[in-house]
Structure 1
């Protein structure tokens, strides 16, 4: 039987940041601002700094609220997301974060975020990601699979 691969500290890193919109904006307007204004400015800067991947996980309150109503009786201690989205970066290393955030072009891509984002509520995480089930259906890193 094959051994399951333990999560590794090697290879690309994942950086995630949760984002809350400012209350004067709707979720829809906030997501439109990110997709139509921020992303087109930011992606070229991401590429310049060697960022391997970038994705946006849209978490509308309507979905999370419905999930909470359904799951709360079974999982009363769980907290449910109240943020509007999560940005996920795949990075070659931690230095990429430093070089990106020091770039004036990146600063320009987020110049109006204070109008849209409640930055005080952001939650940031950095780590490694180990895949176990791919969208193709392939199972990886699982003993006996």
Structure 2
């Protein structure tokens, strides 16, 4: 038996439920950029969950900055609870987006995490705002 099939695949109904649940937690950079380019952002807002310095250096256009350690009732008081907040950080190696999304969810907000963070966004060639003189140095900064 091959390594690939050593563990049998799930029943199709179980697999469909699993992958639908996974998609409920993640947003793909390609889908987000399509929405941004179409101006179709009425249902979500991007949230950079690293620190202010990282946000000033490089950010996804239209994102707001709320470092994960500052998420609370006071910092989200004016936020629209009808939106989905798509949190992102530096990369797959950084968990600031997960920390921010968890904190927002505990406050009752609907959330997703942007797959791969700003590094995946940049690697795909999507636009970045800020002091973009040296994007190769994007760091976790959280």
Comparing both chains, which one has the higher relative contact order based on Cα–Cα distances under 8 Å and sequence gaps of 6 or more?
1
Tell me whether the two structures share a fold, i.e. TM-score over 0.5.
Answer: no
**TM-score computed with the length of structure 2 as normaliser:** 0.24
**TM-score computed with the length of structure 1 as normaliser:** 0.23
